[in-house]
Chain A
Amino acid sequence: MKEKVTFKRLQDIPPVAISLGTLLWNKTGTWRYLKPKYVVKTPPCNEACPAGNDIEGFMVLVKEGKLHEAWELIREENPFPGVCGRVCFHPCESSCNRRDYDEALSIHAVERHIADAHLKSKREKRHTKIKRKERVAIIGSGPSGLTCAYHLARMGYGVTVFESQSSPGGILRVGIPEYRLPKAVLDREIADIESWGVEIKTNTRVGKDIPFDDLHKYQAIFIAVGAHQSRRLHIEGEHAERVLSGLEFLKHVHMGKKVSLGDRVVVIGGGNVAVDVARSAWRVGARKIQMVCLESREEMPASSEEIAETEAEGIEILPSAMPLRITSDGGRVKKVEFIKAKLGEPKPDGSLNPISIPGTEFSLEADSVITAIGEVPDLSFLPREVPINKGLIEADEMGFVHVKGFFAGGDTVNPVHTVTGAIGSGKKTALAIHEYLRGGWSREKFRTIQVGGKGTISLKKYFHPPEGEANPPVVHFQDLHTDTFDHQPRISIPRISIDERRGGFKEVNSGMKGEEALEEARRCFHCGVCNGCDNCWVYCPDMAVKRKQGRYEIDYDYCKGCGICFEECPRSAILLEEEGR
């Protein structure tokens, strides 16, 4: 204050002890030794998505009712929202911080809702232009190959995809039964990819229908043939009639071929393919289906939801048993003999190591046996210089093979087979090919487009580098301040009844209604991303938080650094750092 005020008489004194002038001159920000700062961090769901979806971002758009924009956002990274919303094993939900509060968000259901809304909309006519002279050949039109093709086409490259089957989609088409992934959804998403100018040559098996050497006119070759050969059991009697491989069976079902299995079917295997096989066998009319696997129930690689549905459909699961031999009568399967087993330490090559328990032999009557104990790629068509190790192509995480111009991805290089993993791999390879053709790739560049630390990358970050930290830290549950969140259970997705499922391939899981999707999106914590919730603005005791275009800025002239905004931000989007003065 400039001048000293002296009260002479009682009447001069105001009844309230109040300063006579403004106190704006008193810049209390100078008292600060801690400084709050708005930051954007990495939500754990985004880190966990192998395809690199901006999940938190599409939840914002869904909440605002912008389903088309949400669809566009997903498609910046992933051309298959309708597929992923149905068949992905959703590691995003396992990482969702809401799991530690009540229940994880049903992210896959929201994604599916976004895709379904698009499916119902009219198709856009897209006029794509191939802007670049380089052309890329992709072998295989599965999730990995088509994702790579899609991103390269968006970048302006001419892309040709070679597919041995009569229609594109790879494992999505021939491996995943229609009750999980309806044909219409797959067809539409592939058509959307084609609309970018991607050329798909079906009925063209490279090495058979065309020689591999024909591909040398392309400047880059992406090998994404998937893993379509079933592993053999290597037991006595497996060559009998009505002993089928899982993928072969699924392919036949897909093509509508009549497969006569008889009444009793034994399925050998504990993964998702085995489950698909068992549930498809039930749908084509088998009466008694028994699934037998080496793993214990807890160790089974199939998803728990799928296992639950399998049992709901009356399929019996017999875990911890090893097949010994298949006995036949007149060349036809009669029964399968097993012995109870438990898994020891994995073998040096990583394969399962069952230890049989003497005296626990048992046998199951069977009219058919279907094996689904793992699938491997058929790489016999490749030129010799392509490096192969343990049945898989040797490639780095971006898809580079150490032969100039060669790239590989998806199940062809990855021993763990997931659709979303293959999509992520295809995306990374698209970027690798782009960088290769443009002449430069560095680990440093990879670091700046990573989302968290699980290997996921973001093309959005590649094309539009964000301000601030390139790969900010991931927000964990303990970073959140959850007091302002209500408890609300996860939406339960209705399924059609068992009776409706019998004898057909009608989709089992139903979609959500619009308001349900909205409600589910509202459950999102938006970990590490400001969503304008007003908490900082409400709680700042100095009124130093100012609203600005739906977000906030801090008036550091008056921010004393009390840290209340940091404490009150529910989503850890405010950082408190030491004042640099």
Chain B
Amino acid sequence: MRTVIEGSHAVSYGVMLCRVQVIAAYPITPQTHIVEKLSEFCASGELQAKFLKVESEHSAMASCIGASAVGARAFTASSSQGIALMHELLHWTSGARLPIVMVNVNRALAAPWNIGCDQIDSLSQRDTGWLQFYCESSQEALDTVIQAFKISERVSLPSMVVLDAFYLSHTYEPVDIPDRERVDKFLPPYEPKYKLDPKDPRSFGGLTGPDTFTELRYQMQQSMEQAQSVIVEVDEEYRKIFGRGYGRMEAYRCEDAELVLVTTGTVTSTSREVVDQYRDEGKAIGLLKIKAFRPFPSEEIRRNLKGIPKVAVIDRNISFGSGGIFAEELRSALCNEKERPLVFSYVAGLGGRDITQETISNVIEYTLEEDQPKEASLWPDLRR
């Protein structure tokens, strides 16, 4: 069914179609609309799920952990401070190998208070063992939620589906809501191999000594590596059934490019327009949209950027004392290559500031002009 809905509600529909069994959530702007809609689905019976209103995000994730441990498909959504409060349990989720899916609507962290978009909330959770997917459109958000359950349940690790605050969460776009039967076929019920069963009580996540801890961690890393191909397989299967796919990344007009922009989230859409304009003027500018941040698709990035002289990474985030986080990851993916592009790191659009076509043009112009970036991180939309 094709309809015009808010990005948040696109997520809610995706979750409903996954026949999630437990939703535990605590409201926070700009995420709230997602779980509001889900609570309506639960109330109307469209979704047969237990909806838990909890007293904090920490409890929300704890409830999802409990639900997932007994074999229920569990979902939550949060943002910013809420994600930060969950931090401890994000580690627990992956360590306990629970395939929970969470939507994080990217919002800046205080202080000072700000409800606008930037990616620091999700990127601060980089090392928690969660898969992370950054979405460009409402459609992609819906589709990614459905894919994420399948991927997570295959690799026994949780997934975070990430959306830009307001640009995506509160914007109405045409969205195709897939048929229930086809989603059911794509995503069968969750059947975990190990689950908490009161009839056969076991200890879960109990004290584990140095004799086995390394091995458990190695298995997690292996699962992340396995996820690289699972993401691609699941996406291909999805494309076959629903006619849409996204991959781990998308290279747009990168052929023979003298400069490739690297983006995530909604900036990608704006960048497509700018890239088209440059191409119309005969300038070879390309665009690489990165969707999967964890596991980081280093090999595919190396492949896509082979022979490209310059790369401009636009980061809607900042790792203080270092720079844009995607730029760092990209550099580390490229650093062992003999021939590798120059990487320019741009930090822009923090706390909800618009990244306009003008900002993107400035990024392109600067990168084309300069032989080397003059600073470790460049701030193209800074008021000087």
- Tell me whether B96 and A16 are in contact (CB under 8 A): yes
- Tell me whether A16 and B194 are in contact (CB under 8 A): yes
B336 part of interface (Cβ distance < 8 Å)? no
Residues of A within 8 A of B218 (CB): 10
A13 part of interface (Cβ distance < 8 Å)? yes
- Tell me whether A17 and B204 are in contact (CB under 8 A): yes
Least distance between A250 CB and chain B CB atoms (Å): 57
Least distance between B82 CB and chain A CB atoms (Å): 23
Out of A10, A14, A24, name the residue touching B201 (CB < 8 Å).
Answer: A24
Interface set, chain B 81-117, CB cutoff 8 A to A: 95-97
Known A7-B212, A7-B215, A10-B215: A15·B203 in contact at CB below 8 Å:
no
Known A16-B96, A16-B97, A17-B96: A543·B198 in contact at CB below 8 Å:
yes
Least distance between A480 CB and chain B CB atoms (Å): 21
Cα-based distance from A181 to B219 in the complex (angstroms)? 81
Cα-based distance from A15 to B216 in the complex (angstroms)? 7
B200 part of interface (Cβ distance < 8 Å)? yes
- Tell me whether A23 and B203 are in contact (CB under 8 A): yes
- Tell me whether B216 and A18 are in contact (CB under 8 A): no
- Tell me whether A14 and B215 are in contact (CB under 8 A): no
B211 part of interface (Cβ distance < 8 Å)? yes
Interface set, chain A 136-192, CB cutoff 8 A to B: none
- Tell me whether B204 and A16 are in contact (CB under 8 A): yes
Residues of A within 8 A of B97 (CB): 15-16
Chain A interface, number of residues (Cβ within 8 angstroms): 14
Out of B95, B194, B206, B216, name the residue touching A13 (CB < 8 Å).
Answer: B216
Residues 244-265 of A, flagged 1 when their CB comes within 8 A of B and 0 if not, give: 0000000000000000000000
Cα-based distance from A19 to B212 in the complex (angstroms)? 13
- Tell me whether A15 and B156 are in contact (CB under 8 A): yes
Cα-based distance from A423 to B85 in the complex (angstroms)? 62
Residues 1-41 of A, flagged 1 when their CB comes within 8 A of B and 0 if not, give: 00000010010011111110111100000000000000000
Cα-based distance from A254 to B219 in the complex (angstroms)? 93
Least distance between A453 CB and chain B CB atoms (Å): 39
- Tell me whether A18 and B202 are in contact (CB under 8 A): yes
Residues of B within 8 A of A543 (CB): 198
Residues of B within 8 A of A16 (CB): 96-97, 156, 194, 204
B205 part of interface (Cβ distance < 8 Å)? yes
- Tell me whether B215 and A17 are in contact (CB under 8 A): no
- Tell me whether A23 and B201 are in contact (CB under 8 A): yes
Where the two chains meet, the residues of B that have a C-beta atom closer than 8 Å to any C-beta of A are 95-97, 156, 194, 198, 200-206, 208, 211-212, 215-216, 218-219, 223
- The 16 listed contacts between A and B (C-beta, < 8 Å) are A7-B211, A7-B212, A13-B216, A13-B219, A15-B97, A16-B96, A16-B156, A16-B194, A17-B96, A17-B204, A17-B205, A18-B194, A18-B204, A19-B202, A21-B202, A23-B202
Supply 12 further A-B pairs (C-beta < 8 A) apart from A22-B200, A22-B201. Answer: A10-B215, A13-B212, A13-B216, A15-B156, A15-B194, A16-B97, A16-B204, A17-B206, A17-B208, A18-B194, A19-B206, A23-B203
- 7 residue pairs, one from A and one from B, having the closest CB atoms: A19-B203, A19-B202, A16-B194, A23-B201, A16-B97, A13-B215, A17-B205
